[in-house]
Amino acid sequence: MRRDAAVDAVFKPVHPPSTFEETVERLGTAIRLGILAPGSQLPPERVLAEELAISRSTLRQALTTLTQSGHLVAVRGRAGGTFVAAEPPLAELIDEPLGHDAWEVLDMRVAVESGAAVLASERAGDDDLDRLDDLVDRMAEASDFEDYRRADIRFHIGIAEAAGSPALVSAMTEVQGQMSELIGLIAHPEQVLTRSNAQHRRIVVLLRRGDTGRVVRVLREHIEGTEHILAGLLPAQRG
């Protein structure tokens, strides 16, 4: 079936390191903008994975996220497949686009969390890092998203506490509160939380090593994951 240039752009290869998140953003944005029309069928999983140049497991995670958020519908049987929902719910439920204020929150998060990570890699004690490990375990064992998010907030505030800066703790607390409002607008499938918590665990490992450069890079990838999901699932506007 012949496709126009806009659809071809949707299915061009995705690049690491954020292949999962970028896939969600790419497909979610295409659905929201109508490039992938309501009711249209996505290519078969094998073909789509090849076009996007990602693994089938990564593709399945992205499709699951978009299905759970209501953007896609999975149909079983001989005539089955993955279809764009007739009315993607998040596009209908959000009255206004994600505006400049929301993107300013995301920018502030990058600044606060990166700065806290730099200082924590230099100053964190064993007790600080043990508490972060405990919070990672709590997220892994969380029974629902609310439990996960409470531990998630404490984890990021814990990085600021490990930096030994009361001002950073205050700023981190504020930005996490603002982030909760944004995160509450999107779906929270298990695959997303598992991937996010794996990054949390990696951050603690790097903090223990005092590897400032790598911990900031992993933290930036962690934050970009949220940005990709928000950009893909919400009617976002920036600039």
- SS3 of the chain: the string is CCCCHHHHHHCCCCCCCCHHHHHHHHHHHHHHHCCCCCCCECCCHHHHHHHHCCCHHHHHHHHHHHHHCCCEEEECCCCCEEEECCCCHHHHHCCCCECHHHHHHHHHHHHHHHHHHHHHHHHCCHHHHHHHHHHHHHHHCCCCHHHHHHHHHHHHHHHHHHCCCHHHHHHHHHHHHHHHHHHCCCCCCHHHHHHHHHHHHHHHHHHHHCCHHHHHHHHHHHHHHHHHHHHHHCCECCC
pLDDT in tens, 161-171: 999 999 999 89
In a domain, 238, yes or no: no
* CATH number, domain with residue 145: 1.20.120.530
In a domain, 224, yes or no: yes
Domain termination residue (choose one: 59, 91, 123): 91
214 shares its domain with 122: yes
41 shares its domain with 154: no
Q: 95: pLDDT confidence band, cut at 50, 70 and 90?
A: very low
82 shares its domain with 122: no
Output the pLDDT for position 33.
Answer: 66
Residue 94 has pLDDT above 50, yes or no: no
Angle between helices 190-209 and 145-162 (to 10 degrees): 20
Output the pLDDT for position 181.
Answer: 79
* CATH number, domain with residue 29: 1.10.10.10
In a domain, 204, yes or no: yes
Q: 222: pLDDT confidence band, cut at 50, 70 and 90?
A: very high
110 shares its domain with 225: yes
In a domain, 40, yes or no: yes
Handedness of CA 213, 168, 183, 25 (dihedral sign): negative
CA distance 113 to 108: 8
pLDDT in tens, 174-216: 898 888 878 877 777 787 889 899 999 999 999 999 999 999 9
Q: Which domain holds residue 21?
A: 5-91
49 shares its domain with 69: yes
Rg value, the chain, Cα? 19
107 shares its domain with 39: no
154 shares its domain with 208: yes
53 shares its domain with 165: no
Output the pLDDT for position 97.
Answer: 46
Share of the chain above pLDDT 70, in %: 88
Output the pLDDT for position 92.
Answer: 43
Share of the chain above pLDDT 90, in %: 49
pTM, two decimal places = 0.71
The chain-wide mean pLDDT, for the chain, equals: 86
In a domain, 239, yes or no: no
Domain termination residue (choose one: 91, 115, 141): 91
159 shares its domain with 208: yes
Q: How many domains does the chain have?
A: 2
Distance, CA of 25 to chain centre: 9
Domain termination residue (choose one: 28, 56, 91): 91
158 shares its domain with 61: no
